[in-house]
Amino acid sequence: MLERPKRKNPVLRTRLPTLPPAARSRIALGLTAAAALGRFELQQCRACGSVQYPPREACRKCLSTQLAWRAQPRGGELLSETVLHHSNDLFFRERLPWRLGLVRLDCGPTVVAHLHERVPAAPSRVNVDVKLDRAGQAVMVALPSEENANMAEDRQLREFTCDPRFRKVLVTDGKSLLGQSLVHAFAKAQAELIWVGYAEPWKKFAGFAELKALPQVTLLPLDVTDSKNVREVAGEIGGKVDILVNNAELHRTYGIANRPGIDTARAEMDVNYFGLLRLAQEFGPPMRSRGADGLASAVAWVNVLSIYALANFPAHGTFSASKAAACSLAQCLRAEMRPAGVRVIDVFPGPIDDEWNQLLPPPKLAPATLAAAVVKALQEGVEDLYPGDVAQEWLARWRDNPKALEREMSA
């Protein structure tokens, strides 16, 4: 049972972040690629059908090299377990004791897995999941076969997830419908504190009073196009933010030919791309310094991008380009945050049901649905989130044939 962490004594040293072993072969990164999407995939032999683990070049049964990553059933049986009381690895050394076990998967292989505290003693049924660890690499985690409300409260599991519970969250734009839904979702997920930024304070927005009424919410002027303002806000709260959600966005509905000049496109870049860069330069360093700050450490950075970052939607062409730029920068941020164990989560929604998608036909993603998906991604430790049917379909089409998707988008 996870207890509310004690208030931090501000004169004590903050320990430096350490990472679990991160080396993986290129083939083993297939496991990481699936885990990043929250999928449980193992290699399966196209010739004989046998499931492989650990990842390998050739089938352990028939030596075929035709191995493909396929979704697998998660069930298995815990064969044996052990509790580590000693480790020479710096990461585990600081987190002992640590419970591990051997699980025989129903699909064949036997794997070493981290054990949730509620997994009964062997032999017992478990569900195995692949999670990203603090090094951003896939590891096996065995969970009790019966889901229960305390699933996310396990101390070990919290090392693989970014649960907002007891954590302090910054939502960069509270003016948008999505921003307000995010704040309400984080409040429901028991975030300790929620800072909510809002630009151009003279323009009132609906929902302001409701946000202000939430006891954990602090509203503060934040304009991601203003470097000085971002620096000052980071100076004020950067050392306390555990989860940063950058949902500040400028969205206009133009391609190249139907809007003279570059002004709108520049404004989109200024918010969607440079805004992320400004936030990353100012909030990145303090968050990196708090990657191992106890149970409520700095843990995640969420970018609300767009499915149009994958393939340009010409009707919203300059917006798509700005999101593609942000997507690329987010990869840079991910590389820079990883040594601290701070996860960068990219969200690729399809059209959100807001005023700038007014003329797009449904299905459109409700802001509250998207907000709930973001919180769930944090709780489950996903790295790339494609929320909703539209995004999932695009992802599948993009993975299958990016050129075909490009043509389909411009049809």
Partner 1 sequence: MSPLEQLAKGLAAGKIRVVDLTETLSPEFPHISLPPEMGQAWPFRIEEVSHYDERGPAWYWNNFSCGEHTGTHFDAPVHWISGKDLPNNATDSIPPERFIGPAFVVDCSTQAAADPDFLLTKDFLVRWEKRHGRIAPRSWVLMRTDWSRRSSDAEAYQNYDETGQHTPGPDTDAVKFLVEERDILGFGTESIGTDAGQAYHLRPPYPCHYYMHGAGRYGLQCLTNLDKLPATGAVIVAAPLKIRNGSGSPLRVLALVEEK
Among 155, 252, 376, 397, binds partner 1 (CB under 8 A): 252
The number of residues that bind partner 1 (CB under 8 A) is: 16
Instruction: Report in angstroms how near the CB of residue 163 gets to partner 1 at its nearest.
Output: 36
> Residue 226 Cβ, how far from partner 1 at the closest point, in Å?
4
Output the smallest distance, CB 263 to partner 1, in A: 6
Could you give the CA distance from residue 299 to residue 243 in angstroms, rounded to a whole number?
6
Residues 261-300, one symbol each (x = binds partner 1 by CB under 8 A, - = not), give x-xx--x---------------------------------
- Residue 315: CB partners within 8 Å, gap ≥ 6? 253, 255
Q: How near is the Cβ of 345 to partner 1 at its closest, in Å?
A: 28
Q: What CA–CA distance (Å, rounded) separates 407 from 130?
A: 35
Residue numbers 188-227 binding partner 1 by CB under 8 A? 200-204, 223, 225-227
Q: How far is the CB of 184 from partner 1 (least distance, A)?
A: 24
10 binds partner 1 (CB under 8 A): no
Residues 6+ apart with CB under 8 A from 230: 222, 223, 224, 278, 279, 282
Q: Backbone phi, then psi, for 160, in 5-degree steps?
A: -105, -10
What would the x/- binding string for partner 1 be over residues 227 to 246, using CB under 8 A? xxx-----------------
Q: What's the min distance (Å) between Cβ of 206 and partner 1?
A: 10
C-alpha distances in angstroms, 27 versus 46, 102, 183, 255?
16, 22, 39, 40
Instruction: Note whether 357 binds partner 1 by CB under 8 A.
Output: no
In the bound state with partner 1, the residue whose beta carbon lies nearer, of 91 and 274, is: 274
Site string for partner 1, 52-81 (x = CB under 8 A): ------------------------------
Q: Does 399 bind partner 1 (CB under 8 A)?
A: no
Residue 226 or 384: the one with the smaller Cβ distance to partner 1 is: 226
Structure tokens at 243: 């989860």
Task: State the residue for tokens 């931090």.
Answer: 8
Nearest approach, Cβ of residue 275 and partner 1 (Å): 12
Q: Which residues contact 92 (CB under 8 A, 6 or more apart)?
A: 20, 84, 98
Transcribe 332-355 into DSSP letters.
Answer: HHHHHHGGGTPEEEEE----BSSG
Paired strand residues for 196: 171, 219
Tokens at residue 245, please?
């959600």
Q: Which is nearer to partner 1, 264 or 369 (CB)?
A: 264
How many Cβ atoms from other residues are within 10 Å of residue 263's Cβ?
Answer: 10
- AA letter at 4: R
Sign of the C-alpha dihedral computed for residues 300, 280, 226 and 353 taken in this order: negative
15 binds partner 1 (CB under 8 A): no
List residues near partner 1 by CB under 8 A. Answer: 200-204, 223, 225-229, 252, 261, 263-264, 267
